Amino acid sequence: MKKILFIFLILGIFSCKEGSQKNKAESQPGKELEIEDAKGFSITKFDNYSIIKVNTPWPDAQDPFIYLLKEKDAEIHENLKYDQVVEVPVENIVVTSTTHIPALEALHEEKTLKGFPGLNYISSEKTRKLIDNGEISELGQNENINTEVLIELSPDVVIGFAIDASNKSFETIQKTGIPVIYNGDWTEQSPLGKAEWIKFFGALYGKKQKAKEIFNKIKSEYLAAKELAKTAEAKPKVISGSMFNDKWYMPYGNSWQAQILEDANSNYLYSDTQGDGSLSLAFESVLENAEDAEFWMSSGQFTSYEQLFNESEHYKRFKAVKDRNVYSVSLAQGETGGILYYELGPQRPDLILKDHIAIFHPELLKDYELVFYKPLN
């Protein structure tokens, strides 16, 4: 009888312990990590897992996505709701936008990249070496990913990029058990907001502190450059964008590109406009309003004045063209034609800002070598 009572006592103690641990797992408080400038995501850290909430995977998304990043053998209570679960730290990854590449490299995790749709678009020399060595597989095109090759790679996670919810490739991938989580860095409306998405990748690799340090340095450099620009005496008139199908497309005044133009202490002639996407104007309207602009930035695909004039002789009427102050990002290319600006620019707004300051106010950054913006040939 005493033995039976002892057994029940021991079982009762273990039952209480198990119940206590379960309740602890269910009720443990989370700590929301500081996100300073980005609006599109949040990270909440628990003892052995994290929750990433992506609010804006694409413009006008109806509902946020909830992603559970759990460490090996982590206890997750059954009432926790999420869209996808990923075991961290990630060891093998597929990303779908070149804007994801710089974050991997900054965190020293580029070797975990196993596949990408459109390898020729990648500009980074470091990642191109991995491509040349056959360590990264070609996956076709983002809107039509070769799912057979991707499934064979069996990555821990696919970082998705989409303009809306209708991506059949990602649906197919998820049905195989490979998690797809969306990164919405491109929807951010501020330069530093875009750069802060490195914390998204930091969470995937268990490098939250490292990601925070990288972002803090970028932000510090950006704000220091902004303060430097304020000391310039001149504030030149600037236009941006380029012609496509008889329309001149340029950034709205509330865009992240316009924010950089303002922070570089320039007078962007369309700073009072607001909207999503790109401002679309007739050539005659731009000519009338901006003929005397001193600088023309981001002139689309043009890399020389000859190309510019072959397109239209009317470009010669702009002061920026007469003075040879037209700058393009299309001249800074990787070895296979990828544009460096579209890859590294969102992660390094501090370098974009310094390019602008060096162009508008060369006396402030003497001997500075332009990274993204080059004068037309």
pLDDT tens-digit series, residues 78-101: 888 999 999 999 999 999 999 999
The rounded percent of the chain whose pLDDT value lies above 70 is 93
- Amino acid letter, 369: E
List phi, psi (to 5°) of 248. -95, 120
Judge whether residue 277 has pLDDT over 60.
yes
Query: Is there a cis peptide before residue 89, judged by omega within 30 degrees of 0?
Result: yes
The rounded percent of the chain whose pLDDT value lies above 90 is 79
For residue 28, what pLDDT is reported?
Answer: 63
Average pLDDT of 286-306? 93
Q: Tell me the whole-structure pTM to 2 decimals.
A: 0.91
Q: Which two tokens stand for residue 31?
A: 């700590």
What domains appear along the chain, each with residue ranges and CATH number? 24-218 (3.40.50.1980), 231-375 (3.40.50.1980)
Report the distance separating Cα 328 and Cα 199, nearest Å.
Answer: 30
CB 158 within 8 A of CB 180: yes
Among 126, 43, 40, 33, smallest CA distance to 334 is for 126
> Which position has the higher pLDDT, 103 or 20?
103
Among 72, 143, 169, 155, smallest CA distance to 113 is for 155
pLDDT tens-digit series, residues 227-239: 999 999 999 999 9
Query: Is there a cis peptide before residue 251, judged by omega within 30 degrees of 0?
Result: no
User: How, if at all, do strands 41-45 and 49-54 pair?
Assistant: antiparallel
Judge whether residue 316 has pLDDT over 50.
yes
